[in-house]
Chains A and B, each alone.
Chain A
């Protein structure tokens, strides 16, 4: 079993603050790194899929970077809004699929 670790486990930020989380994963047998947003009572929703070292993806106020050589990815949220409150999951795909336990974000109005 591979370890995909996310930090922090949870955080609370004020509306308008920018924030970032980390996903650490094994640097061997890498195919792709996924980020998902999981809101309470809903299904996980895909944010990004990254496959190449140095990839950077952006969707609105959310962006992500990937470093496959050192085995980490960052997710950034600029100007957090209450609707950004959710658990953010990363998933490492090698020859299987391994999800981290997520970072729970609460944005306080």
Chain B
């Protein structure tokens, strides 16, 4: 079956521009997560969605970051007025439920802000 997909795979943008990153989770998975890995750093949790509940946005690094999940499926992570420190690999994952379920990761989007 299809795994988690993300698009684009690579994105180069100029400082100050807005970007949108897309995640298509595994069908039927109720939980969806966004992480990022900056150069030399570990995985940093950004946000998760579970079913129809309000997302946990506590990991978002600034108000320039936002995410939505439409119809309980596809999610979009938006970064407004990008800064060079936003350069990272952004990973999306989905799971059948929260906490005690394995997460299935997508291939990631490499964002470079010039």
Question: A residues bordering B, Cβ < 8 Å?
Answer: 31-32, 34, 36, 42-46, 49, 51, 89, 91, 93, 96-102
Contacts and interface: CB of A to CB of B under 8 A. Distances in A.
Contacts, number: 50
A20 B18 CA distance: 44
B43 interface: yes
Interface of B: 4, 33, 35, 41-45, 48, 56, 58-59, 91, 93, 98-108
B107 A43 contact: yes
Most buried by A among B43, B106, B107: B43
B58 A96 contact: yes
Interface majority SS (helix, strand, loop, mixed), chain A? strand
28 contacts: A31-B99, A31-B100, A32-B100, A34-B102, A43-B105, A43-B108, A44-B43, A44-B91, A44-B103, A44-B105, A45-B105, A46-B103, A49-B101, A51-B100, A89-B43, A91-B43, A93-B99, A93-B100, A96-B45, A96-B56, A96-B58, A96-B59, A97-B48, A98-B45, A99-B35, A99-B44, A99-B45, A100-B42
